[in-house]
Chains A and B, each alone.
Chain A
Amino acid sequence: MALLEISGLKTYFKTQEGTLKAVDGIDFNLEKGQAMGLAGESGCGKTTAALSIMKLLPANGYIAGGSINFMGQDMSQVTGDRLRAIRWRDISIIFQGAMNALNPVKRVGDQITEPILLHEKVEEEVAVKRVKELFELVGINPNRIREYPHEFSGGMRQRVMIAMALACKPKLVICDEPTTALDVMIQAQILQLLKNLQQELELAMIIISHDLSVLAETCELLSIMYAGKIVERSSAVEVFSNPQHPYTKGLIAAFPNIKGDRKMPASIAGNPPNLIHAPKGCRFADRCYAAQDLCKVEEPPLVEVLPGHFAACHFIKEKG
C-alpha cells in the first residue's frame, strides 16, 4: 500500500461570492521515499491541495469530498488529538517564504526543540542534541542554535526551516515553494540539500512550485495542476520528454533554456478561469490552441495515455 493515497479530493472555500472550488477532484499516490512535484500557475490549487493533507486550511476552507489516505487512516476524518499526533511527527511542511515563517522573538534552537518535546517523551538535553545533529545535517554550524532568526541570512533560514521539518523524523515532507524567495546560487544549494536528504532518509516528499525547472531537478514524479485539477501526471522524465496535455506543452515551452537556442519562449495567452464559476467542459479550453466545440461542453477525464502516464484531454488517444 502506498504511503499516501489521495482520491477524488475536493477542497472548497466559502466566500462572499459563492463557493470557490480550489481543488476539485484530484488523485495521486505517493510511495515511501518518492518525491513528487506539484506544478501549476498561482491560484491553481497546489498549495491548497498540500494544506488539505495536513488539514491546515483556513477557517472558510473545508474538504468537500474524496479521501486522503495516509498510512492507513483517512486524514479527512481525523481530528483533535489524533490529528495533532500525526502533524509534524509523520507529516511536516516547509512553508513558503522562509523569511517570515520563523518566530522572530524565539531562538531558532528553541523553535525546533518545541515539536520534539511535544511529540516525544524525551529530556530536553536529548532534544537539544537532536537539534545540533539536525543543524549539522542541513549544513549549519551547530553552535548557532542559540541565535535568533534575524541573525541568519535567507538561505540559512531556509535551512533552519528544513531542519525543523525533519525534527520528528517524518515520513512525508511537504515543501511549499522551497526556493522561490532565494537567489539562484542559494537555490542550487537548497535543492541539492533537499535531494540528498530525501535519498538519505528515504523521505516521501511533495514539492510545490510554479517553476518546472526546479521540479525537473529534484522530483521523480510530476503532476501538473490547472484550475483545481490535475491535467497530467507521470514520471518527471516522461512529462518533459513526452508531454501530452496542451497546457503542459505550453508550460514547458514557456521556460527559457540557457543551454538551448537563444529565442524568446512562448507564452500561454489568457488567464485561468474563475473557480467560483468554473466553466463547463475542459477548464483550459479558453486558452488552448487545440480547443474544439467538444471541449467547451464536456470535461475530459484523466486517462492513462501511456503506461503510467495520465493526461486529461479529449484529443489524446488512449493507450491500446
Chain B
Amino acid sequence: MAKDIIQVEDLQVWFPVRRGFIESLTSKEQRYVKAVDGVSFNIKEQEIFCLVGESGCGKTTTGKAILRLVEPTGGTVRYAGVGLTPKLIKQAATDAVSKKGLNKDEAEKNVSLGAVDVRKLKKDLMKLLRQKMQIIFQDPYESLNPKQSIYDIVAEPLVVNNLGASEADREKRVQKALDDAGLRPPKDFMWRYPHEVSGGQRQRVGIAGALVLEPAFLVADEPVSMLDVSIRSEILKLMLDLREKKGLTYLFITHDLSVAYVFSDRIGIMYLGKIVELGPTEEVIKSPRHPYTKALISVVPKPDPRMKTEKIILKGERPDPAHIPPGCRFHPRCPYAMDKCKEEEPEPIFVSQEHWVSCWLVGEGKS
C-alpha cells in the first residue's frame, strides 16, 4: 500500500471577528469565523483526493492552510518528503544557509526527515518545502499578471527561490515546464502575454508555473471551473498524465461533484468547516450515507433531459461560519433531523473499511 504523503489532523483555521470599541468594552467573548473547524484526512502517494462542498464550506481554506498560505490556528499537517531528491535538498539547503544564515544541520535534518510538520517549520524551511508543494489557482483570467510575459510568469518561482544557475538554465526549465503543461512548442508561447492565449492555455500557464519547481504535491483549487466544458477534460487529462509521468499527488478542490466523480480516487464532502463524509469516490457517489451528500448528488444537473431523477433540494443557504449551529452543524437544513442532532455533534462512524460518515442516522441504523 502506498504511504501517506500528506496527513492532516484536526486542522483548524479560525479568523477572529473584529469587534467594535463598545463591544470590546462590554467584554463579550471574542468570536471567530470557523472556516475550517477540525478537519482530518490523509492523502496517499500519487492519489487524487477531492474536497467537495458549497462555496464557503472551507475547502479552499483547507488547501491553503496545508501550504500555509493562510496560517492554521490549530491541528497538524504532516508532509512526508516524497519527491525531494537529495541533490535538490542539498542545493536548496545550501542556498538558504548562505542567503539567510540558517543553521545548516537544522535545514538538512528537517527537510530530509521522512515527514515534517508543516505547521512547525520556520519560514525559510517552509519556503524550501513549498517548492515541493504547489498550488494551481481557480481563475486563469485573474491569477496571471497581464503585464508579465508567460516566460516571466513561469520563471518567477525560480527567481523567488533563487533556482537556476544562469538565465539560460532558467529558460530551459521554463521551456520544460511549458512543454509538460502541453504548451507546445514552448518557444511559441514563452514571449506572449496572457491576453494573447485562450482560457485553456492560460490555465496551462498556471499549471506550468506550479510545475517549474518540480513539486511532488499539488493543491488544485477549482482548476477547471472557469473553463468551457469542451476543454475541461483536456486539462483534467493533462493532470492525470502528469501524475503518471511525475508521480504527482493532488488535493483537488471543487464544487462540481460530477468532475470529482470522474477524476478523483477518494472524496471528502465538506460542510461548514468539517468533513461529513469521506471514502472512495465510487462508493461515496453510488452509495452515499450522509443526507447532505445525498442531496448534493441529487441536484447535479444531468446532461440528458430524458433522465428525470428526484431531487432533494435543501431549503435555505448554508449558515454563517461565525454562528455554527450546535449539535450536528447540518441539522437546520437536514430533512431527517432528530432531537439528538440538535444537541450532540456526531462522531465519524466507519461504514466500510475506508468510508466514514458523521451522522446520527447512520449511528442509529436509519440510513
The interface stretch among B10-18, B147-155, B259-267 is B259-267
B229, closest chain A residue (CB) = A254
Q: Does any Cβ of A come within 8 Å of B103's Cβ? A: no
Q: Does any Cβ of A come within 8 Å of B161's Cβ? A: no
CB-defined contacts of B337 to chain A, threshold 8 Å: none
A39, closest chain B residue (CB) = B229
Q: Does any Cβ of B come within 8 Å of A15's Cβ? A: no
**How far is B307's CA from A234's CA once the two chains are assembled, in angstroms?**
18
Residues of B235-265 whose CB lies within 8 A of A: 236-237, 240, 255-259, 261-263
If the complex has contacts A183-B55, A185-B295, A236-B305, are A258 and B257 also in contact, measured as CB distance less than 8 A? yes
In the complex, the answer to whether A265 meets B262 with C-beta atoms within 8 Å is yes
In the complex, the answer to whether B281 meets A256 with C-beta atoms within 8 Å is no
Q: Does any Cβ of A come within 8 Å of B230's Cβ? A: yes
In the complex, the answer to whether A267 meets B314 with C-beta atoms within 8 Å is no
In the complex, the answer to whether B314 meets A217 with C-beta atoms within 8 Å is no
CB-defined contacts of B256 to chain A, threshold 8 Å: 184
Q: Does any Cβ of A come within 8 Å of B113's Cβ? A: no
**How far is B257's CA from A213's CA once the two chains are assembled, in angstroms?**
13
In the complex, the answer to whether A264 meets B229 with C-beta atoms within 8 Å is no
Q: Does any Cβ of B come within 8 Å of A89's Cβ? A: no
A interface bracket (residues with beta carbon within 8 Å of B): 35 or more
Partner of B282, one of A183, A241, A256, A262: A262
CB-defined contacts of A250 to chain B, threshold 8 Å: 230
CB-defined contacts of A211 to chain B, threshold 8 Å: 229, 301
**How far is B94's CA from A123's CA once the two chains are assembled, in angstroms?**
79
B292, closest chain A residue (CB) = A185
In the complex, the answer to whether B230 meets A216 with C-beta atoms within 8 Å is no
In the complex, the answer to whether B262 meets A184 with C-beta atoms within 8 Å is no
* Min CB–CB distance B265 → chain A (angstroms): 11
B interface bracket (residues with beta carbon within 8 Å of A): 35 or more
**How far is B240's CA from A259's CA once the two chains are assembled, in angstroms?**
22
Residues 248-288 of A, flagged 1 when their CB comes within 8 A of B and 0 if not, give 00111011111100111111110100000000000000000
Q: Does any Cβ of A come within 8 Å of B313's Cβ? A: yes
The interface stretch among A4-12, A129-137, A186-194 is A186-194
CB-defined contacts of B200 to chain A, threshold 8 Å: 271
> Which secondary structure dominates where chain B touches chain A?
helix
Q: Does any Cβ of A come within 8 Å of B159's Cβ? A: no
Partner of B299, one of A184, A210, A216, A237: A184
Residues of B201-258 whose CB lies within 8 A of A: 228-234, 236-237, 240, 255-258
Partner of A213, one of B233, B263, B303, B313: B303
Partner of B230, one of A155, A183, A267: A267
In the complex, the answer to whether B54 meets A183 with C-beta atoms within 8 Å is yes
Most buried by A among B230, B240, B256: B230
**How far is B199's CA from A308's CA once the two chains are assembled, in angstroms?**
35
Q: Does any Cβ of A come within 8 Å of B297's Cβ? A: yes
In the complex, the answer to whether A255 meets B229 with C-beta atoms within 8 Å is yes
Q: Does any Cβ of B come within 8 Å of A214's Cβ? A: yes
Q: Does any Cβ of A come within 8 Å of B302's Cβ? A: yes
Partner of A264, one of B263, B285, B299: B263
Most buried by B among A188, A210, A264: A188
CB-defined contacts of A268 to chain B, threshold 8 Å: 230-231
Partner of A237, one of B230, B259, B306, B309: B306
Partner of A252, one of B231, B258, B303: B303
In the complex, the answer to whether B258 meets A188 with C-beta atoms within 8 Å is no
CB-defined contacts of B261 to chain A, threshold 8 Å: 256, 258, 262
A153, closest chain B residue (CB) = B317
Residues 299-335 of B, flagged 1 when their CB comes within 8 A of A and 0 if not, give 1111111110101011001000000000000000000
In the complex, the answer to whether A212 meets B240 with C-beta atoms within 8 Å is no
Residues 131-159 of A, flagged 1 when their CB comes within 8 A of B and 0 if not, give 00000000000000000000001011000
Most buried by B among A155, A213, A240, A252: A213
CB-defined contacts of A252 to chain B, threshold 8 Å: 303
Residues 92-133 of A, flagged 1 when their CB comes within 8 A of B and 0 if not, give 000000000000000000000000000000000000000000
CB-defined contacts of A240 to chain B, threshold 8 Å: 303-306
A183, closest chain B residue (CB) = B54
**How far is B303's CA from A280's CA once the two chains are assembled, in angstroms?**
32
* Min CB–CB distance B303 → chain A (angstroms): 4
In the complex, the answer to whether A254 meets B236 with C-beta atoms within 8 Å is no
In the complex, the answer to whether B259 meets A256 with C-beta atoms within 8 Å is yes
CB-defined contacts of B281 to chain A, threshold 8 Å: 262
Residues 152-193 of B, flagged 1 when their CB comes within 8 A of A and 0 if not, give 000000000000000000000000000000000000000000
CB-defined contacts of A256 to chain B, threshold 8 Å: 233, 258-259, 261-262
Binding site for B on A (CB under 8 A): 41-42, 153, 155-156, 183-189, 191-192, 210-214, 216-217, 236-237, 240-241, 250-252, 254-259, 262-269, 271
Q: Could you list 12 A-B pairs, sorted by A, with CB under 8 Å?
A: A41-B229, A185-B296, A185-B317, A210-B228, A216-B302, A217-B302, A217-B305, A258-B258, A262-B262, A265-B232, A267-B231, A267-B237
